[in-house]
């Protein structure tokens, strides 16, 4: 009983945090209703479709089927459109994910520090309010986080099997399930398959040369796992070809169905100045369909008086044409974007993408909290500003601990870093930043942070630090 107490305490604390958030912060709107509609129609009509006018089924491919299938399961078990029950299931999986993070860390840190590092990672994961706030919402992010942790745990177990010359099917299959499910939930889940599978492949070569692991068994396991991983996407691709006559193995980048008009000129123009989540929320999400207020645009959206006048003219045309981006208006934004990019290519291709990635990684993660967008204006709301800065500080602590953990180079450190770098490279291409796009990096931050804390509180290490600073 006493041996289980160090593990039970962070889990109980984590459960209390998530239950409090569930009571205070749970809501259903926006994308959640889209996922729910898809899940409901899968359950009731056997179709991956949205409900159109008059209740008719409208087939779609704007979302991958992973999360709608999860909601369909929850609706079947707990009642139709019971999003609250789905959130409760996610809380249970999130806490299980905390244990898996600890299990992963215990396998990448040599004894005797492994238990201490695992417990530190468990506390970091259980008490992280950023990931907890997604566990209590019916969105794909919470389930994706669990699948990423499961993939990390299975990866470490499989590598441990190789060291014992006995690679087991169970761990290979868990890894395959995790990376496949992560990709079925969100297209960027495929990044985990790339980063982690590469780590396993390199490990296979090393362990085979050092420990004589049988090549034939490894080839057979690899072939089966690849086929199992690709099978759902083959079915999804065939379905999309049969219904829409397009080859789409994942989901469209702009979440549009075939034949649905996109606005490439508008997208490129927004990308030429958009830097933070405020612009995403106030401008990007509202057009088309809502009024475009030039006064709401930041000053970086205009470089010259002529450019400002052209933007005002386009906004007036848009506002007077039913707030719709007609092909002519979109072409006008395309011309404006081309001029801005030609005048400042370095800003478009380097500084703005770098700024957007920084905004997504460093901004206070308050997107799921009832806090105003202008959280930094202390005169408007003292408490919200102070809380937001505290959140930013906590986010920085997780990042700094992870950097310290990387410097200590535990097993799989480069695989965790590769995933985060691949994700940052993907986010380099987005037009409008959202902090939720970087939430999937937190399982890696928990693991690396646990490694760092274990090393920092290690007594011999502290003695060395005291000796160094004392002698100075």
What is the tens place of the pLDDT at every residue in 362-420?
999 999 999 988 888 888 888 999 999 999 999 999 999 999 999 999 999 999 999 99
Q: 146 near 93, Cβ under 8 Å?
A: yes
Alpha helices in 214-323 (DSSP H): 215-244, 264-271, 277-282, 305-320
For 25-72, what is each residue's pLDDT tens digit? Answer: 999 998 999 999 999 999 999 999 999 988 899 999 999 999 999 999
- For position 230, what pLDDT does the model report? 96
Q: 264 near 330, Cβ under 8 Å?
A: yes
- For position 469, what pLDDT does the model report? 53
- Residues sharing a CB contact under 8 Å with residue 189, sequence separation 6 or more, in sequence order: 144, 147, 148, 179, 181, 182, 183
- For position 447, what pLDDT does the model report? 98
Q: 251 near 63, Cβ under 8 Å?
A: yes
- For position 190, what pLDDT does the model report? 94
The model scores a pTM over 0.85: yes
- For position 472, what pLDDT does the model report? 44
| Residues of the chain falling short of pLDDT 70 | 1-3, 164-165, 203-214, 459-472
Helix and strand counts by DSSP (H, E) for the chain: 20, 2
- For position 213, what pLDDT does the model report? 55
Alpha helices in 138-248 (DSSP H): 140-163, 169-185, 190-211, 215-244
Residue 7: which of 171, 157, 119 has the closest Cα? 119
94 φ, ψ (degrees, to nearest 5): -65, -40
């Amino acid at each position: 009983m006493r041996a289980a107490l160090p593990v039970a305490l962070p889990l109980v604390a984590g459960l209390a945090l998530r239950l409090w958030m569930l009571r205070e912060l749970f809501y259903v709107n926006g994308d959640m209703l889209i996922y729910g509609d898809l899940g409901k129609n899968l359950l009731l009509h056997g179709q991956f479709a949205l409900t159109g006018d008059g209740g008719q089924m409208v087939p779609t491919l704007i979302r991958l089927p992973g999360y709608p299938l999860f909601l369909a399961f929850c609706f079947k078990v707990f009642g139709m459109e019971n999003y609250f029950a789905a959130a409760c299931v996610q809380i249970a999986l999130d806490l299980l994910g905390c244990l898996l993070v600890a299990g992963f860390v215990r396998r990448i840190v040599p004894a005797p520090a492994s238990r201490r590092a695992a417990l530190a990672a468990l506390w970091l994961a259980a008490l992280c309010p950023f990931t907890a706030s997604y566990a209590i919402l019916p969105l794909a992010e919470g389930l994706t986080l669990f699948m990423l942790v499961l993939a990390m745990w299975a990866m470490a177990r499989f590598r441990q099997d190789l060291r014992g010359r006995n690679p087991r099917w169970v761990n290979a299959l868990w890894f395959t399930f995790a990376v496949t499910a992560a990709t079925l939930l969100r297209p960027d889940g495929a990044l985990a398959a790339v980063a982690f599978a590469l780590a396993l492949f390199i490990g296979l070569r090393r362990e085979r040369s050092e420990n004589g692991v049988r090549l034939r068994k490894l080839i057979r396991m690899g072939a089966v796992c690849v086929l199992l991983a690709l099978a759902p996407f083959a079915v999804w691709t065939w379905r999309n070809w049969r219904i829409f006559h397009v080859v789409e193995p994942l989901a469209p980048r702009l979440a549009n169905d075939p034949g649905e008009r996109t606005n490439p000129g508008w997208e490129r123009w927004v990308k030429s100045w958009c830097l933070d989540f405020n612009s995403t929320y106030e401008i990007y999400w509202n057009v088309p369909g809502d009024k475009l207020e030039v006064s709401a645009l930041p000053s970086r959206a205009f470089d010259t008086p002529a450019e400002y006048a052209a933007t005002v003219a386009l906004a007036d045309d848009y506002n007077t044409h039913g707030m719709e981006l007609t092909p002519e208006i979109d072409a006008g934004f395309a011309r404006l974007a081309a001029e801005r990019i030609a005048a400042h290519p370095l800003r478009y291709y380097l500084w703005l993408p770098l700024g957007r990635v920084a905004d997504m990684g460093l901004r206070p993660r308050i997107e799921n909290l009832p806090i105003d967008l202008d959280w930094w204006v202390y005169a408007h709301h003292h408490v919200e500003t102070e809380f937001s800065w505290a959140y930013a500080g906590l986010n920085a602590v997780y990042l700094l601990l992870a950097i310290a953990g990387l410097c200590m180079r535990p097993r799989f450190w480069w695989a965790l870093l590769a995933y985060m770098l691949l994700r940052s490279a993907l986010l380099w291409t987005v037009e409008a930043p959202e902090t939720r796009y970087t939430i999937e990096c937190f399982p890696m931050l928990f693991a690396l942070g646990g490694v760092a804390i274990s090393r920092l509180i290690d007594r011999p290490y502290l003695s060395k630090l005291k000796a160094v600073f004392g002698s100075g």
